[in-house]
Amino acid sequence: MRIEREATGIVNFEPLLIPGLVQIGDYVRALMRVCNVSDQDIDSRVAARLARQAILTKDEAPRLQLIVDEMVLRRVLGSPKIMARQLRRVLETVEEATTTLQVLPMSLRGHSGLDGAFTLLDFVRNKPVVHLEHKISGLFLEEPDQVEFFRAEADTLSELALSPAKSAELVATIAREHDRE
């Protein structure tokens, strides 16, 4: 949370989940339940996840680039109604000038990002870092060659993905599909 607040740019690639910075509380709760988080820990984790989103509304919000696999939009966590609300929240966020979303369509059949999520953070005063997260730990990569590897990966995924406009259209379509379920 601390380094996100200092970031001037964030690139978040997610092949499995809606990115944390745009998750709604019900989605986070559903995620915590399927990941076997104890009931007593869920509320505090939801609050912490939602508190991170404050960076998106500060005066100098970071540039946020979200790249997700289409399956992220289609995988129902909680209920179809929760997913529809979640996807509308994503669309509201990308209406902000500092946030973009691109979707890697299932028609690609595969892409180099299928092996895991990553977040690339840029700063004014500090070197960029990459954050890799797993269930019980996280890893920060700071070596220039590691950071450049993930920057190139983000560029490649962005080139393969739908444009931001087409991505927004797809998100809206899938939200309507969830509403009808």
For the stretch 21-59, pLDDT in tens is: 999 999 999 999 999 999 999 999 999 999 999 999 988
What is the number of domains present in the chain? Answer: 1
CATH number for 40: 3.30.870
Q: How does residue 88 score in pLDDT terms, banded at 50, 70 and 90?
A: very high
- The whole-model pTM stands at 0.94
pLDDT, tens digit, 9 for 90 and up, residues 134-169: 877 889 999 999 999 999 999 999 999 999 999 999
| Residue 112 exposure: Cα atoms within 13 Å on the Cβ side | 11
Q: What is the span of the domain harbouring residue 9? A: 2-180
CB 104 within 8 A of CB 114: no
Q: Cα dist. 134→12, 35, 90, 105, 179 in Å?
A: 15, 12, 23, 24, 31
